[in-house]
A and B are shown apart, each in its own frame.
Chain A
Amino acid sequence: MVFMGASVLIACEKEHIDDQKPVIRVIEPAEDEAVTPGNALHFEVMFSDNVALASYKVSIHGAFDGHTHSHNSTTNGLKDDGITTRVATDSVAFEKTWLESDFIALGEPPITGKKQATVKHLHLVIPETVSRTVNGKAEEIPLKEGHYHFIVYCSDESGQESFVAQEIFISYDHHEHLH
Chain B
Amino acid sequence: MRLLYTILFLTAGLTVALPQAQHTTKRFAISGFVHDGENKTSLSASTVSLQPGERHVQADGDGFFQFVEVDAGNYLLTVNFLGYEEMSIPLLLVSDTLLHLHLQPVPFVLPEVAVSTYRNHSGGKLAALPVEEISRDYLIKHNATNFAQTLASVAGVSSMDIGAGLSKPIIRGFGFSRVAVVDRGIVQQNQQWGADHGLEIDQYDVDYVVVHKGPMSLFHGSDAMGGVIEILPPEVPQNDLFWGDATLIGKSNNDLLGASVVASKKTGNLFFRGRITAQSYGDYRMPSDTIEYLTWKLPVHDKRMKNTAGREYNLSFSSNYAGEKFNSWLHISHINTKNGFFPGAHGIPSPGRLEPDGAYRNIEFPYSTSTHFKLVSNSELRISDSGKMQFDFGYQTNHREELSQFHTHYSNQLPPVNEPDLELQFKLDTHSANVRYVMDEGKQWSKVFGLSTEYQHNKVGGYSFLLPGFDRFSAGAFWLNSYKWNENLTLMGGLRYETGKLTVDGFYDPVLEAYLVMQGYDDEQVDLYAQRAADINKTFNDISGSVGFSFVPDTGNSLQINLGSSFRYPGANELASNGVHHGAFRHEMGNSGLEPEKGYQIDLDYQHTGKKVKIRVSPFAAWFSNYIYLEPTGDWSVLPHTGQIYRYTQAEAFMAGGELKVAYDIDGSWRLSSDVAYLYLTNLSDNYPLPFSPPTAITTNLAYAGVGKGVMPQFSLEIENRWVMAQHRIAKNEERTPGTNLWNLSAQAQWQVGGRRVITQFRTDNIFNRAYLNHLSFYRKLNAPEPGRNIQLILKIPF
Contact = CB atoms under 8 A, between A and B. Distances in A.
A22 B352 CA distance: 29
B537 interface: no
Contact of B514 (A9, A57, A133, A166): A133
Contact of A2 (B357, B514, B620, B644): B620
A66 B411 contact: no
A134 to B, nearest CB: 7
Nearest to B731: A19
Nearest to B408: A65
B555 to A, nearest CB: 25
Interface in B272-300: 294-299
Given A97-B638, A132-B411, A73 B355 contact: yes
Given A1-B604, A61-B641, A160-B732, A76 B353 contact: no
B730 A153 contact: no
* Residue of B298, B350, B357, B409 ringed by the most chain A CB atoms within 10 A: B350
B365 A54 contact: no
A2 B686 contact: no
Nearest to A71: B355
Nearest to A25: B295
B411 A97 contact: no
Interface string A53-74: 0110101010111111111010
Contacts of A130: 411
B20 interface: no
Given A97-B640, A166-B295, A69 B357 contact: yes
A158 interface: yes
A57 B634 CA distance: 11
B89 to A, nearest CB: 52
A99 B353 contact: no
A2 B656 contact: yes
A10 B682 CA distance: 10
A93 B411 contact: yes
Given A65-B407, A69-B357, A155-B634, A2 B643 contact: no
Interface string B629-659: 0011110101111011000000000101110
B612 interface: no
A133 B517 CA distance: 11
A13 interface: yes
User: What's the interface size class on A, roughly?
Assistant: 35 or more
* Residue of B604, B631, B636 ringed by the most chain A CB atoms within 10 A: B636
A167 B350 contact: yes
Contacts of A63: 348, 350
A165 B293 CA distance: 10
Nearest to B367: A68
Given A155-B632, A166-B295, A3 B619 contact: yes
Given A95-B409, A133-B412, A155-B634, A78 B348 contact: no
A66 B636 contact: no
Contacts of B414: 134
Interface in B285-330: 294-299
Contact of B656 (A6, A31, A96, A161): A6
B687 interface: yes
Interface in B650-695: 654, 656-658, 680, 682, 686-688
A13 B683 CA distance: 11
B351 interface: yes
Contacts of B688: 17, 19
A132 B412 contact: yes
B411 A19 contact: no
Contacts of B405: 65-68
Contacts of B654: 9
Contact of B352 (A59, A81, A95, A100): A81
Contacts of B409: 61, 93, 95
A88 to B, nearest CB: 12
B116 interface: no
B347 interface: yes
Nearest to B657: A6
Nearest to A97: B638
A131 B518 contact: yes
Nearest to A54: B634
Interface in A68-106: 68-71, 73, 75-76, 78-82, 92-93, 95-97, 99-100
A107 interface: no
A167 B357 CA distance: 23
Interface in B555-573: none
Contacts of A95: 409, 411, 640
Contacts of B643: 57, 153, 155, 161, 163
A5 B411 contact: no
B164 interface: no
Interface in A142-158: 147, 149, 151, 153, 155, 158
B343 A2 contact: no
B619 to A, nearest CB: 4
Contacts of A66: 343, 346-347, 353, 365-366, 404-405, 407
A15 interface: yes
Nearest to B643: A153
A70 B633 CA distance: 38
Interface in B347-386: 347-348, 350-355, 357, 364-366
Nearest to B423: A66
Contacts of A81: 350, 352-353
Nearest to A13: B687
Given A6-B656, A68-B365, A132-B412, A80 B640 contact: no
B602 interface: yes
B680 A2 contact: no
Nearest to A134: B412
A125 interface: no
Nearest to B687: A17
A80 B352 contact: yes
B682 A155 contact: no
A164 interface: yes
Interface string B593-613: 000000000101000000000
A151 to B, nearest CB: 7
Interface in A31-55: 31, 54-55
B352 A164 contact: no
* Residue of A61, A67, A147 ringed by the most chain B CB atoms within 10 A: A67
* Residue of B346, B352, B640 ringed by the most chain A CB atoms within 10 A: B352
A153 B638 CA distance: 12
Contacts of B412: 132-134
B682 A151 contact: no
A79 B351 CA distance: 7
A156 to B, nearest CB: 9
Given A6-B680, A76-B299, A80-B355, A165 B348 contact: yes
A66 B640 CA distance: 15
A145 to B, nearest CB: 15
Nearest to B353: A67
B733 interface: yes
B365 A67 contact: yes
Complex A-B, nearest 3 residue pairs according to Cβ-Cβ distance, in ascending order: A80-B352, A65-B407, A6-B656
22 contacts: A2-B619, A2-B620, A13-B687, A17-B688, A57-B643, A59-B641, A61-B640, A63-B348, A66-B343, A67-B353, A76-B297, A76-B351, A92-B411, A93-B411, A132-B412, A133-B518, A151-B348, A153-B644, A155-B644, A159-B631, A159-B633, A161-B733
Given A75-B299, A133-B412, 17 more contacts: A17-B687, A19-B688, A55-B634, A66-B347, A67-B405, A75-B355, A79-B351, A82-B352, A147-B350, A153-B643, A155-B636, A155-B644, A159-B631, A159-B733, A161-B632, A165-B295, A165-B348
